């Protein structure tokens, strides 16, 4: 068993917050005791949609793509990278851990053949918008975008942006505030 307070400490928040959040998905704690770890874990997996695997295509076989492909926590959670695509002829025909790197021209064919629902976009900013449009048109439902551009896509395609520079800038901002206070 684990209490809301113990969870809060790990997550960097408060017990009340944890209870409010969890209660919005139903009440599965036990008064006086806390939450059972296994049921809680199972319920969160359900909420996050991790009880079934997701077919993922990685678009962009550069350094960021490489890091993401090797990231063990993706596979752990049921994200299956079933295809890798790139435009560089020097990379096409190669393979990472047995998964071939294919020509990005085959994007639509791969999405169809492999029932890809999620695309991880790890390409330069200039290439992102057209590739995102093609992925969306091919039927992809969600895009995890590492390019520093806001993608304009038709309704119904979920986009999540990750901007690594922003995180460092936030740190820089916080440290500058400290300096200013002195």
Residues in contact with its own copies by the rule CB under 8 A: 10-12, 47-50, 54, 62-64, 66-68, 70-71, 73-74, 76-77, 79, 117-118, 120, 141-144, 148, 150, 158, 160, 162, 164-165, 167-179
Of 77 and 150, CB closest to DNA: 150
Residues 32-91 that bind DNA (CB under 7 A): 32-35
Beta carbon of residue 123, minimum distance to its own copies (angstroms, whole number): 13
Q: How many CB atoms lie within 10 A of CB 39?
A: 12
Q: From edge to edge, which strands make up the β-sheet containing 99-103?
A: 95-96, 99-103, 79-86, 54-59, 118-121, 142-145, 158-161
Of 9 and 169, CB closest to DNA: 9
Of 12 and 156, CB closest to DNA: 12
Residue 5 binding DNA, by CB under 7 A:
yes
- Cα–Cα distance, 19 to 8 (Å, whole number): 9
Of 24 and 31, CB closest to its own copies: 24
Q: Which of 88, 136, 80 is nearest to 111 (CA)?
A: 136
Q: Which of 32, 5, 6 is nearest to 16 (CA)?
A: 5
Interface residues with DNA (CB under 7 A)? 3-5, 13-17, 19-20, 22-23, 27-35
């Amino acid at each position: 068993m684990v209490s809301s307070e113990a969870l809060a400490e790990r997550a960097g928040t408060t017990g009340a917050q944890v209870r409010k959040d969890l209660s919005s998905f139903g009440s599965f704690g036990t008064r006086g005791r806390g939450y059972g770890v296994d049921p809680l874990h199972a319920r969160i997996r359900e909420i996050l949609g991790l009880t079934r695997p997701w077919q993922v295509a990685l678009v962009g076989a550069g350094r960021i793509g490489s890091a993401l492909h090797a990231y063990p926590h993706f596979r752990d959670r049921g994200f299956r990278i079933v295809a890798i695509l790139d435009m560089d002829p020097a990379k096409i025909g190669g393979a990472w851990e047995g998964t071939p790197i294919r020509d990005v021209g085959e994007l639509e064919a791969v999405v169809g053949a492999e029932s890809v629902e999620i695309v991880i976009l790890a390409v330069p900013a200039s290439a992102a918008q057209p590739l995102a449009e093609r992925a969306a048109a091919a039927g992809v439902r969600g895009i995890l975008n590492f390019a520093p551009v806001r993608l304009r896509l038709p309704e119904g395609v979920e986009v999540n942006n990750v901007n690594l520079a922003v995180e460092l800038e936030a740190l820089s901002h916080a440290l500058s505030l400290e300096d200013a206070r002195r």
